Amino acid sequence: MARPAVDVFGSGGVSLGSKIVCDGYADGCPVRVQTHVHDDHMGDFNKSKGQQDIFMSPETRELLIAERDADLEYRDNLIPIPRGGEYPLDDGSTLTLLPSGHMLGSSQVAIELPDGTRCGYSGDFGWPLDDVIQVDQLVVDSTYGSPRSIRRYSQSEAEDCLLEVVSKRLRYGSVHISAYRGTIERVLHVLAGNVNVPILASERLMREIKVYQDHGFAVGALDALDSEAGRFAIGERSYIRLYSKGDGFDKELIEGTSVKCSAFFTVGTDHPLMEFSSRSYSVALSNHADFEETLAFVEATGATTVVTDNTRNYGWELAVAINDRLAGVRAEPSTNSPVPS
């Protein structure tokens, strides 16, 4: 069988045909598509910035501008394209982005090549999704590609659990919550209006949350750490502090409780809360599809050729599961070959 037209380079960049690379840089590819702003998808971004046209959703562009150098705002090779439309590229391909339910601006990518082959990349994705790319060949994220990565609780149960533990621990002092970007905004959405203490964040996180608010995401009010309200609340030890990228989550809290929000899968665990001590918890809040949901996504794309991303996690296990479980679909792990030079 001929090699698929899609693959993942060792650098983590995802190739769709020979001219387009997602979330990475490759010589000879004039186009980069940026699926979202998480660091593990930002490889070689500065190199791309100088040499490629970079397509992304308008929301992703705004988050990058809020986070990075102001020069991004003035570059004409950072091209925002609304999700849902078809965008013609110079080589005769057509590019479509659809929401991937992972964080603000995150996208699934579909390319129809000049020969009519439809190639796609899931990016990081949540499930269920209203619209799924329809493709012949697919690269699928394998973060939770292991059959052991199955949640036995719903995300709304995880949200209830977060609110419950935070409310309980506020009686004993401050509560410090860390999560990935995208998930931290969801934490704020869950807490706002349901707790009666100020919620504090760094200036950087407040800038990021402002982009969410600008796009109609109801996240609730925040106070800056060094604002009058923030300083007063810290003095009273009666507040919630949110932490995300670059906020230096304090490993040794002098007072208060720490709560980490991220997916965890432990065999036999059927509850979204883990208690490490009376002052340290983890809640399985995640904007990421689990194993069964990943299979449901692959099936919904209609792809008959699937390459599992084997640069990050569980590519082999996911490929085996797809071949076992999805009739008419042939899957193999990515080659992780060097970027072409």
Nearest-approach distance from CB 263 to Zn ion, in angstroms: 11
Q: Which stretch binds Zn ion (CB under 5 A): 11-19, 32-40, 69-77, 142-150?
A: 32-40
Q: Which stretch binds Zn ion (CB under 5 A): 17-25, 33-41, 58-66, 236-244?
A: 33-41
Q: Count CA within 13 A, CB hemisphere, residue 288.
A: 26
Between 93 and 143, CB nearer to Zn ion = 143
38 touches Zn ion (CB under 5 A): yes
Residues 89-108 as x/- pattern, contact with Zn ion by CB under 5 A: --------------------
d(CA 252, CA 249): 9
Three-point CA angle 299, 305, 310, nearest 5° = 90
Nearest-approach distance from CB 102 to Zn ion, in angstroms: 5
Nearest-approach distance from CB 179 to Zn ion, in angstroms: 12
Please, are residues 336 and 8 in contact by the beta-carbon 8 Å criterion? yes
Burial of residue 72 (number of CB atoms within 10 Å: 0-12, 13-18, 19+): middle
Between 62 and 124, CB nearer to Zn ion = 124
Q: Which of 7, 59, 62, 124 binds Zn ion (CB under 5 A)?
A: 124
Between 188 and 289, CB nearer to Zn ion = 289
Please, are residues 153 and 271 in contact by the beta-carbon 8 Å criterion? yes
The phi and psi torsions of 207 (rounded to 5 degrees) equal -65, -45
Between 124 and 332, CB nearer to Zn ion = 124
Nearest-approach distance from CB 124 to Zn ion, in angstroms: 4
Location of structure tokens 């562009």? 61
Q: Which of residues 142-181 bind Zn ion (CB under 5 A)?
A: none
d(CA 67, CA 245): 10
Closest alpha carbon to 261 in 168, 155, 171? 155
Contact residues toward Zn ion (CB under 5 A) are 38, 124
